[in-house]
Structure 1
Amino acid sequence: MKLVWSADTASKAYIDTVKSCQNFKESGLAELLSAMAAGWNSKLIVESWSYGGPIATSVGLAIAAHHTCGRHVCIVPDEWSRSGYVKAMHAAGIASTVVIVGEAEEVMEGLAGVDFLVVDSKRKDFARVIRFAKLNHKGAVLACKNACHKGFSGFRWHEVLQRGTRVVRSVLLPVGQGVDIAHIGAQGGGVGSKKSPSRWIKYTDQQSGEEHVFRD
């Protein structure tokens, strides 16, 4: 997977997300995911959301899509969730997100070439969203929020991804309620294929001041 990391784009998305999410009483997960999605120049950013869930991450991903001239798509389970989501996003000043209602299999079928996928482990169908995702053949980045949730216990990427999908590396970060991030390699990349060079990414939690450094 040939990825070109843009620190400048990541920084701009991070700063804009901090400004837009300063009124949300949530962790800095939105800023982290926004910077990652923008830094990797993601063109199709997809996430799943259920009624009553936090909205900050969605705002951050929408901002990332703006910086990459990409699309931000949110999958919701029903019309009740769609109405609540649109209302919350409009209140945050975001109107560009495409909202799709439906089951994981049906919705993901129409979203080919996903570059950046964010799911919430509190959603019962989060594993199915991952399984049926049509990832970019050049590779993708996947993130599971609420990794400390009991429903996430025992989760393994290789058990939910389609056969043949190659996890180049994964990392569990203590941000928010925990986030498990996986870097998926290009399709057809065998054992002997070259991996994209690792990059060290530093993230500072705006609330606690703690710094987290990890290798992507």
Structure 2
Amino acid sequence: MKLLWSPDTATRAYIDTVRSCQVFNESGVAELVSAMAAGWNAKLIVETWSQGGAIATSIGLEIASRHTGGRHVCVVSDENARSEFITAMKEAADMNPEVLVGEPEEVMSQLVGIDFMVVDCKRKDYARVLRQARLNQRGAVLVCKNANSKSDSGFRWRSVIDCGSRRVVRTVFLPVGKGIDMAHVSSSGGNSGSGSSKVEKRWIKHYDQKSGEEHVIRK
């Protein structure tokens, strides 16, 4: 089984997120990740959030989970962050998503079969979180937001993926917001798309609400 793209679900999630996040200024990040998560029909959507951070992306992921009938979980480092996040989500969009508190090793052990994951590069342990993620056997999509803030100290997607059983099928960097770095990870035991195996590719359009620019992604 592999990830299947649903353009109708992606479009509905995108539109709903635009309506809910029009008061925020995140240059289309929320709309993009919402459409991606919904389009891939993600059943387990996980994100990390740091205290004081923006919540538009979280609203978009919550909307996506409602369109797919899935589960959206936000991972935070402590109880103060949990309280702030819940309050912000409630006040901004009357939403009450699931929140888990703890270290990556502890929290990720409770989240098996992740389909779609968003981590914030402003969080120092984002690479550690990715390494601990227990992905769905059919494959997953991983997203790093605020990727422009990453240092050039050797970060590579393949350094956080278990190459023994999985492969990074493709990656893409988008100049949306402060930079989005995405990777599509193969199913367990899958390959990178080389050799006789063929990977079907699709074009996805994303409109930046702030700048009016159109970004075209080939998946």
Q: Place the TM-score, normalised by the shorter chain, in its bin.
A: over 0.9
Gaps of 5+ in 2: none
Match of 2:163, SS?
coil
Q: After alignment, is 94-103 or 59-68 more displaced?
A: 94-103
Match of 1:86, SS?
helix
Relative to structure 1, the CA distance from residue 150 to residue 141 in structure 2 (aligned partners, 3 Å threshold; closer, same or farther) is closer
Instruction: For residue 26 of structure 1, report the CA deviation from its aligned partner.
Output: 1.9
- The CA distance in 2 between the partners of 1:153 and 1:68, in whole Å, is 37
Equivalence for 1:127: 127
Under a length normalisation based on structure 1, what TM-score does the superposition of the two structures give? 0.96
Equivalence for 1:167: 168
Match of 1:212, SS?
strand
Equivalent pairs counted in the alignment come to 216
Equivalence for 2:205: 202
Within 5 Å, which residues of 2 pair with 1:1-216?
2-151=2-151, 154-164=154-164, 165-190=166-191, 192=195, 194-216=197-219
Relative to structure 1, the CA distance from residue 79 to residue 206 in structure 2 (aligned partners, 3 Å threshold; closer, same or farther) is same
Query: Is the 2:90–2:96 Cα contact (8 Å) retained in structure 1?
Result: no
Instruction: For residue 161 of structure 1, report the CA deviation from its aligned partner.
Output: 1.8
Query: Is the 2:3–2:140 Cα contact (8 Å) retained in structure 1?
Result: no
Percent identity (aligned)? 63
AA aligned opposite 1:111:
L
Q: After alignment, is 93-102 or 36-45 more displaced?
A: 93-102
Q: After alignment, is 13-22 or 162-171 more displaced?
A: 162-171
Under a length normalisation based on structure 2, what TM-score does the superposition of the two structures give? 0.94
- The CA distance in 1 between the partners of 2:83 and 2:122, in whole Å, is 20
Relative to structure 1, the CA distance from residue 150 to residue 128 in structure 2 (aligned partners, 3 Å threshold; closer, same or farther) is closer
Query: Is the 1:108–1:133 Cα contact (8 Å) retained in structure 2?
Result: yes
Q: After alignment, is 118-127 or 155-164 more displaced?
A: 155-164
Query: Is the 2:9–2:38 Cα contact (8 Å) retained in structure 1?
Result: yes
Query: Is the 1:132–1:162 Cα contact (8 Å) retained in structure 2?
Result: no
